[in-house]
Amino acid sequence: MTRYLLAAEADRIQDTIFRATRLPEIVGGSRMLVDWCREMAEQMRAGGIPEEDIVIADGGAFRVVLPDAESCREWGERLAEDYSRTLGGTISVAGPVPFEPGDFALASARAQKELRRVKNRPLHSSSCLHNPYVAYCEVCGVGLGSARGWSHEEERETVCAGCSARFRLSKSDQDTQGLTGLFLRQVKSHLPPGTELQSPRDTDAIGRFDGRNNVAYLVVDGNDMGVLFSRCDQRQLKSLSGQLSRIMLDCLAAVTARLVQRLKPGGPVPGNAAPVTCPVLPLILGGDDLYVLLAAPYSLDVVRRFTGDYIRAMSEALAEAGLDFSPGISAGLVVCKAKYPHTLAHARAHDLLAEAKRSARGRGTGASLISFGYAETQEEPGEYLATLKPYSLLDRETEGSILPLKTLIDARFSLKEVPASRLAELGSLYDAACLPPSRMAGAKKREWAARFDFHLARAGRNPADLAAIEQVLAKLGSRDPGSLYMRSASHVRRAALGTGLPDLLEFWDYAQDLDHAREVYGHEH
């Protein structure tokens, strides 16, 4: 008997959630998305759709098996209308995809292809007449003001219905089944009994963990999940889709608990009257997509450990489902001031994620890479690169020119006793303005080498410091002064040379290992 597959996915979820500019409304927007998916799934059950036919209903994505094409169209229109009314965004719906019993995997692949076509089709533009008697929301600047309400700063403002609902939900999120509440409970399960955790009120609360008031934003995406899903039958896809978000949240909670204990001197005090501010806050979680606000210190090691836990948990889930697939993730991490706009931070992190994904192509689904940087950076031209990004999130050595992130973190520990001023002098020579434009620029290379030798000799007046610097130069680049102590960076650009020393110095304050206290590392830049 022919059945039909309905496929729908919300468009640009981050733009909808980040329409509000302040953290409480963003958290509330994330909660609204979770609640909306649950509500629509409940309506489908009430409408007579069996539980096993609601294959995916999470993170703004739906895959539902229905008995006829007309039901697919009706539910597609209903999803689009309800999403627009509730969250103020749009959702793309693919046309009904017919399939016979046993052909679900093929239908799923066709539906995904149709969904991409619909998403890439531009929307019709329309003009909006100006009405001088309406006011726009003072929070998001997009919705029409519907009431005068109280903001999170207890100031009376004109707000739209969406932002009002977002703020209302964010205030109750820790005590309900919202994303923040679930996450905090998971973190507490890894901490000593009696430890009280509270959600950060704003980004400044996260910024206080760093002396410069910096925070980090992390974007994570699973590798080739479309390929994996195209191999799944209906039962396997439903099982995996139900576990993905849980695995992501569990792995993030486990490493967050370690970060809480590391950032709180002596660890959290059980029964302490003053709650500990959680240094990590997931903002968007949908399937294999994760967007997180976290404290900048230890951020690189947090991502590395999260990746290891995720790969182990996903490997077990895939084995139980009878699927032969090597799980992996790509990540983009950006560090910026706490006041930096969420939308711009997400855009920069997403660019870094795309950079990691490009380098991962052709290396297998298990290749897990990360690219990281600050909010405003530019790629250097020329044959010599002051970077080796992206790095592998796996601890083992990889084929080709990609280094494990663990090498960078270990190098940070090795150089902890070297004076910061001496390291800064060496690092300044890897500025794009100082590097030779090409390998053929002999005079420029000799001048660069002479300056480097001078600063290396100054930094190495202490034999222990010299040994540590030379060891790090070799691990993050090479021992060859003729190549400017660089190694192949073919994963960044063909025939290019690069070194990880500038990456280390750039993220010096955030490349600590969670196994070591911050005091062990001594000076910060």
pLDDT digits (tens, 9 = 90+) for 391-415: 999 988 776 789 999 999 999 999 9
Is there a contact between 436 and 429 (Cβ–Cβ < 8 Å)? no
Please give the pLDDT value at position 66: 94
For residue 404, the 8-state DSSP code is: B
Closest to 452 (Cα-Cα) out of 470, 464, 471: 470
Closest to 141 (Cα-Cα) out of 25, 252, 228: 25
Is there a contact between 401 and 490 (Cβ–Cβ < 8 Å)? yes
Is there a contact between 434 and 474 (Cβ–Cβ < 8 Å)? no
Class of residue 397 by CB neighbours under 10 A (exposed 0-12, middle 13-18, buried 19+): exposed
Is there a contact between 59 and 32 (Cβ–Cβ < 8 Å)? no
Structure tokens at 21: 């500019």
pLDDT tier, 151 (very low <50, low <70, confident <90, very high otherwise): low
Is there a contact between 43 and 74 (Cβ–Cβ < 8 Å)? no
Q: What are the Cα distances from residue 488, in Å, to 82, 394, 405, 474?
A: 52, 19, 16, 12
- Report cis status (omega within 30 of 0) of the bond before 50: no
Structure tokens at 483: 């190549």
Q: Is 416 helix (H, G, I), strand (E, B) or coil?
A: coil
Please give the pLDDT value at position 128: 54
Residue with tokens 């059945």: 3
For residue 144, the 8-state DSSP code is: B
Closest to 427 (Cα-Cα) out of 377, 477, 389: 477
Structure tokens at 290: 């994760």
In sequence order, which residues have a C-beta less than 8 Å from that of residue 177 and are 6 or more positions away? none
Residue with tokens 């592998």: 392
Q: Going by DSSP bridges, is the β-strand pair 289-295/280-286 parallel, antiparallel, or unpaired? A: antiparallel
Q: Going by DSSP bridges, is the β-strand pair 369-374/329-337 parallel, antiparallel, or unpaired? A: parallel
Helix H or strand E encompassing 257:
helix 234-263
Between CA 88 and CA 86 the distance in angstroms is: 6
Helix H segments across 289-441?
299-321, 342-360, 405-414, 420-428
Structure tokens at 453: 């030798």
How far does the chain reach from its first CA to its final CA, in angstroms?
A: 67
* Three-state secondary structure readout of 270-328: CCCCCCEECCEEEEEEECCEEEEEEECCCHHHHHHHHHHHHHHHHHHHHHHHCCCCCCC
Please give the pLDDT value at position 121: 73
Q: Is 241 helix (H, G, I), strand (E, B) or coil?
A: helix
Average pLDDT over residues 108-122: 85
pLDDT greater than 80 at residue 347: yes
Is there a contact between 512 and 256 (Cβ–Cβ < 8 Å)? no
Give the predicted TM-score (pTM) of the model.
Answer: 0.86
Is there a contact between 111 and 7 (Cβ–Cβ < 8 Å)? yes
Q: What is the pLDDT of residues 191-244, one digit of tens each?
A: 988 888 888 988 999 999 998 999 999 999 988 888 888 888 888 999 888 899
Q: What are the Cα distances from residue 511, in Å, to 197, 342, 372, 406?
A: 25, 23, 11, 9
Q: What is the pLDDT of residues 442-493, one digit of tens each?
A: 788 889 989 999 999 998 889 999 999 999 999 999 999 889 999 999 888 8
Average pLDDT over residues 373-391: 79
Cα-to-chain-centroid distance, residue 47: 36
More confident call, 110 vs 161: 110
More confident call, 494 vs 21: 494
Between CA 370 and CA 355 the distance in angstroms is: 8
Torsion of CA 288, 289, 292, 296, to 10 degrees: 80
For residue 264, the 8-state DSSP code is: S
Helix H or strand E encompassing 4:
strand 3-10
Phi, psi of 90 (to 5 degrees): -120, 155
